[in-house]
Chain A
């Protein structure tokens, strides 16, 4: 499975009302080019904060929040998993796309191979943990996770190497404004 395939499945399945927080670099840019939506919050800097932002949204919102980040991003803020496991929001799905590389840079290796993320996620308190290796597994497990009301961690192995012609996301205040307009307006309806 490639990054593009994983993101396409997630973006096709995710409900319209679900916030999606996506880590910086090719992850955000690829997601943007597959399916731009008001509740996509694309990170462009602040590497590592994807899951923290998702946690903040999850504790204040009733919607199911999905965070997608790469292994470099997760390793940069690994202690966020402890914060999420402690808080246990039942509306948070934390997805790791793991290619063992800083792929938005020059595919330098990360240390993701030496960590058993499933064990770690269970130890700190995630209630539902899965390792995913193909697209059909991803479709069914992600669909079920959206209905499960459990703090979920999905570890998806992806391949290195993909096309890099993606659109740079430039209007950052617009990302915030339309996200809040969509999410908060909906809460009052």
Chain B
């Protein structure tokens, strides 16, 4: 889990100016802040792959997009990440809530949660869990990776508690 003010200040520091995605309760404060941020253009999307398309377009026109989603939506859109953002070298920052890890109470998330780490580690992207302790380093490593390789970065956010 990461403090939403901290996450927003990091996105400000690295000059993100576009946000889109599909909401996840695990990121609700971050999403609310992005939606109303004066320096961030927020675009509502209907599904994760659509958000990736929109974000890719803004990057092609000089924008700096962040895309938020749950890991269920990440799995929905793996083809678009591979065949668009990776194949065309379009760096996008993904904030992905990692449902289905230890403490999960919703059975439908368990299989995605179990596979999450193996799958992102095999993809040609930067991946790190992000939390209050490592967030400055994780974000700075993600930025370095994206700038150098023009490839996406995924920051995984674990939910603090399950209700």
Name A's B-contacting residues (CB within 8 A): 19, 21, 41, 43-46, 48-61, 77, 79-80, 82-83, 86-87, 172-173, 175-177, 179-180, 183-184, 187
Decide: B50 and A77 in contact? CB cutoff 8 A: yes
For A46, the chain B residues whose CB sits under 8 A away are 49, 52-53, 79-80, 83-84
For B44, the chain A residues whose CB sits under 8 A away are 83, 86
User: When chains A and B are docked, how far (Å) is the Cα of A19 from the Cα of B58?
Assistant: 12
Decide: A56 and B80 in contact? CB cutoff 8 A: no
Decide: B62 and A83 in contact? CB cutoff 8 A: no
* B residues 2-52 in Cβ contact with A at 8 Å: 18, 41, 43-47, 49-52
Known: A55-B57, A56-B54. A45 touches B41 (CB 8 A): no
Decide: A55 and B63 in contact? CB cutoff 8 A: no
Name B's A-contacting residues (CB within 8 A): 18, 41, 43-47, 49-63, 65, 79-80, 82-84, 87-90, 150
In the assembled complex, the CB of B60 is this many whole angstroms from the nearest CB of chain A, namely: 6
Q: Which of B55, B82, B83 contacts A56 (CB 8 A)?
A: B55
**In the complex, which residue of chain B has the Cβ closest to the Cβ of A184?**
B62
User: When chains A and B are docked, how far (Å) is the Cα of A46 from the Cα of B54?
Assistant: 12
**In the complex, which residue of chain B has the Cβ closest to the Cβ of A48?**
B49
Q: What are 12 A-B contacts with C-beta separation under 8 Å? A: A44-B83, A45-B84, A49-B52, A52-B50, A56-B53, A57-B58, A57-B60, A59-B57, A172-B88, A173-B150, A175-B88, A183-B62
Decide: B88 and A56 in contact? CB cutoff 8 A: no
User: When chains A and B are docked, how far (Å) is the Cα of A180 from the Cα of B53?
Assistant: 16
Known: A59-B41, A187-B62. A83 touches B46 (CB 8 A): yes
Known: A59-B41, A83-B45, A83-B46. A183 touches B61 (CB 8 A): yes
Decide: B57 and A57 in contact? CB cutoff 8 A: yes
Decide: B89 and A176 in contact? CB cutoff 8 A: yes
Closest A-B pairs by Cβ, 10 of them:
A56-B57, A45-B83, A52-B53, A49-B53, A60-B61, A79-B46, A46-B84, A53-B57, A56-B58, A56-B54
For A177, the chain B residues whose CB sits under 8 A away are 89
For B80, the chain A residues whose CB sits under 8 A away are 45-46, 49
For B57, the chain A residues whose CB sits under 8 A away are 21, 52-60
**In the complex, which residue of chain B has the Cβ closest to the Cβ of A63?**
B61
